[in-house]
């Protein structure tokens, strides 16, 4: 199965008008299982590191609370069939165009319990460097619900902005916050194997996982150009793996 048959004109129009769309059941089941297996591999590594240090925290990873596992796909290469797949190429062509770079990728795991929600933000709000908006692709590796802390998206028409805004850091959570209105947003409720696609200037947040199981998701960001600070070549803002050139996948 590819995304070609799944991306309809209504998805393209929704992306232009509101900044996002959701493709349900777009991933082959084998890819979902592959991503879950790879996640388990990294979780074992993280827990072994915690055990060696005799602590339950390494960086922003907290044992049995939350995990952020970023830019590790080159370690084993097993995620390449997903990240550089035909269906991801179709998504990029329908949103950012014929040229694409994979900026970053990461697993985001919410364990049951409080302290796992995230405030309203734009992904572009974390990057002060001038840039074209990119797309974030949010892969559901479990069935997503409000109960297990899915993401909520604020459409352009209700946010009132279509460009990056300055964010403020929350002193308690260290989250960057760009929207403080009362709109709760639209929850992304979808089965495992679905992908929510949204612009980096779309506001989104996520809730607390109130279930008894981990909520597993994966995000990949693709841009029509590399994210580079031309005034400071030594500063690395993104991994910038080439993906599409003139509409063709770079193998």
- Predicted pLDDT at 177: 84
Structure tokens at 92: 């990029």
**CA atoms within 13 Å, Cβ hemisphere of 177:** 14
Q: What is the pLDDT of residues 22-55, one digit of tens each?
A: 999 999 999 999 999 999 999 998 899 899 999 8
What pLDDT, on a 0 to 100 scale, did the predictor assign at position 106? 95
Q: Pairing mode, if any, of strands 195-199 and 241-245? A: unpaired
Query: β-pairing, 100-110 with 151-154?
Result: unpaired
| 123, 221 Cβ separation under 8 angstroms | yes
Task: State residue 178's pLDDT score.
Answer: 78
pLDDT at 5 over 60: no
Domains for the chain: give ranges and CATH numbers.
22-246 (2.60.120.620)
More confident residue, 4 or 85: 85
Would you state the pLDDT for residue 201? 96
**pLDDT for res 4:** 47
pLDDT greater than 80 at residue 202? yes
- Better pLDDT: 84 or 165: 84
Provide φ and ψ at 200, rounded to 5°. Answer: -70, -5
Question: Once rounded to an integer, what is the mean pLDDT over residues 128-133?
Answer: 90
Tell me the two tokens of residue 220.
């990949």
What was the pLDDT predicted at 62? 82
**What does residue 50 show for φ and ψ, rounded to 5 degrees?**
-65, -40
Instruction: Tell me the C-alpha distance between 218 and 138, whole Å.
Output: 6
Backbone angles phi, psi at 74, to 5 degrees: -75, -15
**How many contiguous H segments (helices) and E segments (strands) does the chain have?**
6, 16
**Chain-centroid distance, C-alpha 199:** 11
Rg of the chain, C-alpha, whole Å:
18
Would the pLDDT of 1 be above 50? no
Residue labelled with tokens 């709760």: 184
Is pLDDT larger for residue 34 or for residue 232? 34
Q: Average pLDDT for residues 195-206, to the nearest whole number?
A: 96
Q: Is the dihedral of CA 235, 95, 157, 6 positive or negative?
A: negative
| Digit-coded pLDDT (tens) for 10-25 | 999 999 999 999 999 9
Phi, psi at residue 240, to the nearest 5°? 55, 55
Q: Average pLDDT of the chain?
A: 91
| Calculated CA dihedral for residues 67, 68, 71, 76, nearest 10 degrees | 10
Mean pLDDT in residue range 80-84: 96
Neighbour tally for 243: CB within 10 Å: 21
How does pLDDT run across 203-228, given as a tens digit for each residue? 999 999 999 999 999 999 999 999 98
Question: Would you state the pLDDT for residue 85?
Answer: 96
User: Given a cut of 60, is residue 3 above it in pLDDT?
Assistant: no
């Amino acid at each position: 199965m590819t995304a070609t048959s799944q991306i309809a004109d209504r998805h393209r129009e929704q992306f232009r008008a509101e900044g996002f769309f959701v493709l349900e059941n777009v991933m082959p089941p084998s890819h979902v299982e592959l991503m879950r297996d790879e996640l388990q591999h990294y979780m074992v590594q993280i827990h072994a590191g915690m055990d060696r240090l005799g602590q339950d925290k390494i960086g922003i990873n907290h044992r049995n609370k939350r995990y952020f596992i970023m830019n590790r796909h080159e370690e084993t290469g097993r995620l390449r069939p997903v990240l550089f797949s035909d269906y991801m190429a179709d998504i990029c062509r329908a949103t950012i165009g014929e040229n694409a770079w994979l900026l970053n990728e990461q697993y985001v795991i919410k364990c049951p319990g409080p302290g796992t929600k995230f405030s309203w933000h734009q992904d572009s709000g974390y990057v002060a460097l001038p840039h074209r908006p990119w797309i974030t692709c949010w892969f559901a590796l479990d069935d997503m619900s409000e109960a297990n802390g899915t993401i909520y998206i604020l459409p352009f028409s209700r946010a009132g902005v279509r460009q990056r805004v300055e964010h403020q850091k929350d002193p308690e959570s260290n989250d960057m916050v760009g929207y403080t209105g009362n709109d709760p947003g639209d929850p992304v409720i979808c089965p495992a194997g679905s992908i929510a696609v949204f612009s980096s200037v779309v506001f989104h947040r996520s809730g607390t996982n109130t279930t008894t199981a981990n909520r597993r998701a994966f995000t990949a960001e693709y841009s029509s150009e590399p994210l580079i600070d031309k005034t400071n070549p030594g500063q690395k803002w993104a991994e910038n793996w080439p993906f599409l050139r003139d509409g063709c996948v770079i193998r």
